[in-house]
């Protein structure tokens, strides 16, 4: 292989590798969802971008930074559900906390230690957070294959949501949802083929012009 052709092929490979994998990141506003008050349950709607041809979701995780149970009760639990679409709920939680358009809260029903969103979508986790302010921990929930399959279904119409029911109070410093995608091998190989042909043509044209 000529040096120039090799160079073009290596450059194209570099571009292909970049386009092969993407990470999408989402955060509610405010990011800590008002420190998740016991008396309520919360919804967070996400508008998911349209994926490119051949682009598939291959991983997802929900991270809650510096989570702790601010009433320090060992019986407390934080329920988290993945939803096909999030329910529309009130936006103003207190004079200090107004949620952005895509999220809100509802009042927890009488049996408040039960999951207010039970039976809706998929239960991702029931978290028992550290009970001490000095023992906050960042919790990352990685989606398994069944959750990923449902996530792919849920985003197919461009929306998905999270339902979060804190029973009791769960302070944190921010919630982040990450989705990773990739373009499968056949598409990559086809691109590589096009790149190599393109490189060969460039080399040929160069030879002719000399
Ligand atoms: Ca609650
Ligand atoms: Ca509840
Ligand atoms: Ca949906
Ligand atoms: Ca906070």
Give the side-chain half-sphere CA count within 13 A for 172: 27
> Which ligand number lies closest to the CA of residue 168?
1
Domains of the chain listed by start with CATH number: 24-183 (2.60.120)
> Which ligand number lies closest to the CA of residue 64?
4
Q: How far is CA 103 from CA 59, 81, 88, in A?
A: 24, 14, 7
**pLDDT band at residue 4 using 50, 70 and 90 as cut-offs:** low
| Angle between helix 3-20 and helix 185-209 axes, rounded to 10 deg | 150
Q: What is the pTM of this model?
A: 0.78
> Which ligand number lies closest to the CA of residue 70?
4
Q: Ligand 3 mean position to 68 CA, how many Å?
A: 30
Tell me the per-residue pLDDT of 182-193, one tens digit each, with 9 for 90 and over: 987 765 566 667
Q: Which of 171, 169, 166, 142 is nearest to 58 (CA)?
A: 142
Report the alpha-carbon distance of residue 101 to residue 95 in Å, rounded.
Answer: 16
* Other beta carbons within 10 Å of 171: 17
Q: Report the pLDDT value the prediction gives residue 154, as an integer from 0 to 100.
A: 98
41: which 2 tokens?
A: 């349950």
Q: Ligand 2 mean position to 38 CA, how many Å?
A: 8
Give the side-chain half-sphere CA count within 13 A for 83: 23
Strands 175-182 and 21-26: antiparallel
Tell me the per-residue pLDDT of 77-135, one tens digit each, with 9 for 90 and over: 999 999 999 988 888 877 778 888 788 888 998 788 999 999 999 999 999 988 888 88
Q: Ligand 3 mean position to 23 CA, how many Å?
A: 19
Helix ranges (H only) for the chain are 3-20, 145-154, 185-209
> Which ligand number lies closest to the CA of residue 68?
4
Q: Ligand 3 mean position to 186 CA, how many Å?
A: 28
SS3 207: helix
Torsion of CA 40, 170, 64, 60, to 10 degrees: -40
Q: Ligand 4 mean position to 91 CA, how many Å?
A: 18
DSSP designation for 90: B
> Which ligand number lies closest to the CA of residue 111?
2
Q: Ligand 1 mean position to 63 CA, how many Å?
A: 19
In 51-174, the DSSP E strands lie at 56-69, 77-83, 92-94, 97-98, 103-107, 122-127, 137-142, 159-167, 170-171
Q: Ligand 3 mean position to 83 CA, how many Å?
A: 7
Tell me the per-residue pLDDT of 125-183, one tens digit each, with 9 for 90 and over: 999 988 888 889 999 999 999 999 999 999 999 999 999 999 989 999 999 999 999 98
Average pLDDT, the chain: 86
Q: Report the pLDDT value the prediction gives residue 181, as an integer from 0 to 100.
A: 97
């Amino acid at each position: 292989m000529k040096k120039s052709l090799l160079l073009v092929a290596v450059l194209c490979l570099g571009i292909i590798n970049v386009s092969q994998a993407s990470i999408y990141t989402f955060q509610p506003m405010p990011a800590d969802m008002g420190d998740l008050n016991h008396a309520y349950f919360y919804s967070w709607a996400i508008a998911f971008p349209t994926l490119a041809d051949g682009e598939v979701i291959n991983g997802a995780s929900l991270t809650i930074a510096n989570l702790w149970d601010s009433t320090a009760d060992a019986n407390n639990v934080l329920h988290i559900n993945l939803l096909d679409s999030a329910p529309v709920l009130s936006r103003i939680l207190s004079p200090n906390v107004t949620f952005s358009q895509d999220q809100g809260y509802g009042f927890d029903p009488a049996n408040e230690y039960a999951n207010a969103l039970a039976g809706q979508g998929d239960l991702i986790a029931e978290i028992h957070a550290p009970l001490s302010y000095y023992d906050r921990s960042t919790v990352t929930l990685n989606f398994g294959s069944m959750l990923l399959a449902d996530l792919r279904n849920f985003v197919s119409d461009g929306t998905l949501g999270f339902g979060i029911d804190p029973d009791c109070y769960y302070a944190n410093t921010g919630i982040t949802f990450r989705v990773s995608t990739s373009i499968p091998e056949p598409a990559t190989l086809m691109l590589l083929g096009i790149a190599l042909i393109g490189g060969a043509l460039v080399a040929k044209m160069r030879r002719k012009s000399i």
